[in-house]
Structures are given as C-alpha cells and as structure tokens.
Amino acid sequence: MEITVRPDARKTLKQLRGEWDSCIKCSLGHSRIERGGSFVFGYGMLNAIMLIGEGPGFEEEKNGIPFSGKSGTLLHKVLKLIGLTDFYISNLVTCRSCSQQLDEDGAPRMRMNYVTKLPELAFKDEPPTPPQYNACLPRLCEEIYLVDPIVIVGLGGSVCEALTGGHVTITRQRGETVQIEIPGASFVPDLTERKEAWLRRDGSTPIVQNTVRYHFIQTLHPAYVIRKLADRGEDSPLRYFVADLKKALKTYEAYRETVYGILPTAVDTDDEAIQQQISEDA
C-alpha cells in the first residue's frame, strides 16, 4: 500500500467527510453524480472495533448509511447475537460500484423504486476495482487514523487485498490476523501522540516514525455468507464469519481488560444456536 498523503491529527471525522463528499477522483464519483446517489461515509464508536466493507450497495447509496441493506442486516444480526456493540463501520470505497443491468436483447433493465413507486434503471453491485479503491485509500487510511481502532476487521477479499497490499484468497485466508500499517500524521512532537496506546497493545508498537500499525482480521463479506446460508455445516461460511467476528471481540475485550480493567461483558454464545437463528430469519 503506497499512500503518500499523511493524516492531520487535528482533523475531525466530520471535516474528513466534508473533504471527500463531492469527490470525483475515480469513475465511481461520476456514476454517483449521474444516479443522484449518496456519498456513504462511516459512523460509529472510536477506539473500538472497526469493520470495513467493500462499498455501498443499492440501499446504502439511497440512504447514505453503510451496511444498511441486506448484507448489513445479516452483519448487524450477527453482531447483536455475539454481543459486539462497540464498533465503527466504513467501506473501502464511499461511492457505489455497480454496472447497468441489461436484458437478453441488450436493452437496459428497469426496476421499481419502492419509495417513489416509479420505474428506474437497474444496476448490479460489483466489487470496486483496484484503480477505484486506490483512489479512495487515502480517505480510508485517514479515517482509520482518526478512528484509531483497537482491531480492524476486513469484510471481503477486496478490502483485505487493498489494506494488506498482497493477494488474498479470502476463503482460504479468512480468520488470519495480520498487521497493517497506516501513515501517521506528518508532524507529531515526540514520536507520536499515540505511542502510549500502541505500547499497551500487546507489543504493537510503531516501527517507523509516524507509521501506525493495527491488528487486522480478515473475513468473508456478508453478501457471500448470505449466498451460502443453505450450508448448515460446522465449516459453513456463516460459522466462519461468526468465529472471525468473535475473534475481533476477544482481541478488543482483552485490550480493555489489560488497559482499563474492564471485564468482558459478551457471553460466549453457542455457534449452532446463532446459525439456527440466522437461517430461520433468512
């Protein structure tokens, strides 16, 4: 990951949002404007667990809230069932990546807008391409720096590849914890203002001046988990997804206990019961 733009430690997330919400640095910005879609920025708790998805879909582009569609419903259900409440949620790209749907004759497909009840062009969501997410990475890196999470979870292969800088076969590498490095502020008086916090993170100290290192857990994208919900086995995508989110929660709780003496509150829920509940609701 080659990011030359350094974050500004004095900036707020609101300011960062304002700097990017009319962005057209990649093709997704132009298509967002053409469709009249929303720029979808992250929200949630600082210094906790940061969940990063690939990008907004149909619902998210409409209402401007990350993970508010079908994938988000599954994600929020799992988070609730395992007791993961302290999270910030964002995306690799903040504009929707999609292509227009065509019928067999090559004519544009239409869909009914359930709010306006009017027909509109139908688009199919797609993972963002490297040129698109590379254009958006400086925003994501600065967002990570300002959120300063204890642990980050990458939801889906594109996110993991973008943030680790290597090839990731997510179905094989899910569940792995790796370290990722984010550019730090260009000027900070004594090494960094966050040195103390890093030192408390089980040896996760900065190795280079003004580079911030984070624990990064790789997992599946909820959309993939939804497609495989019929698989009820112990090694099903849903079970893996739950296990990876529980791993993030354990890392966060261990940090809070070590640093602040806060005892873990989440109950270790039965994976089979979670699977049953999610499958019944689907």
Please tell me the count of residues contacting ligand SF4 according to CB under 6 A. 13
Nearer to ligand SF4, 136 or 150 (CB): 136
As measured in angstroms, the least distance from the Cβ of 20 to ligand SF4 is 5
Task: Please report, as residue ranges, which positions from 26 to 45 form the binding site for ligand SF4 (by CB under 6 A).
Answer: 26, 28-29
Residue with tokens 């929660």: 249
Q: In sequence order, which residues have a C-beta less than 8 Å from that of residue 224 and are 6 or more positions away?
A: 156, 237
Nearer to ligand SF4, 61 or 86 (CB): 61
- Contacts with ligand SF4, 44-83, as mask; x by CB under 6 A: ----------------------------------------
Which residue's Cβ lies closest to ligand SF4?
29
Rounded CA separation 272/101 (Å): 38
Q: Is 3 in the site for ligand SF4 (CB under 6 A)?
A: no
Of the listed pieces 89-97, 114-122, 151-159, 175-183, which binds ligand SF4 according to CB under 6 A? 89-97
Rounded CA separation 209/64 (Å): 36
Residue with tokens 């019929």: 230
- Contacts with ligand SF4, 93-132, as mask; x by CB under 6 A: xxx------------------------------------x
Q: How many CA atoms lie within 13 A of 14 on its CB side?
A: 0
Q: Is 163 in the site for ligand SF4 (CB under 6 A)?
A: no
Reference 60, options 43, 37, 27; nearest CA is 37
> How remote is the C-alpha of 166 from its chain's centroid?
18
Q: Is 135 in the site for ligand SF4 (CB under 6 A)?
A: yes
**By the 8 A CB rule, do 146 and 15 touch?**
no
Q: Is 13 in the site for ligand SF4 (CB under 6 A)?
A: no
As measured in angstroms, the least distance from the Cβ of 96 to ligand SF4 is 9
Question: How buried is residue 118: exposed, middle or buried, by Cβ count under 10 Å (0-12/13-18/19+)?
Answer: exposed
Nearer to ligand SF4, 29 or 127 (CB): 29
Q: Is 20 in the site for ligand SF4 (CB under 6 A)?
A: yes
**By the 8 A CB rule, do 71 and 53 touch?**
yes
Among 24, 112, 191, 282, binds ligand SF4 (CB under 6 A): 24
Rounded CA separation 141/137 (Å): 6
Q: In sequence order, which residues have a C-beta less than 8 Å from that of residue 172 and are 6 or more positions away?
A: none
Binding residues (CB under 6 A) for ligand SF4: these are: 20, 23-26, 28-29, 93-95, 132, 135-136
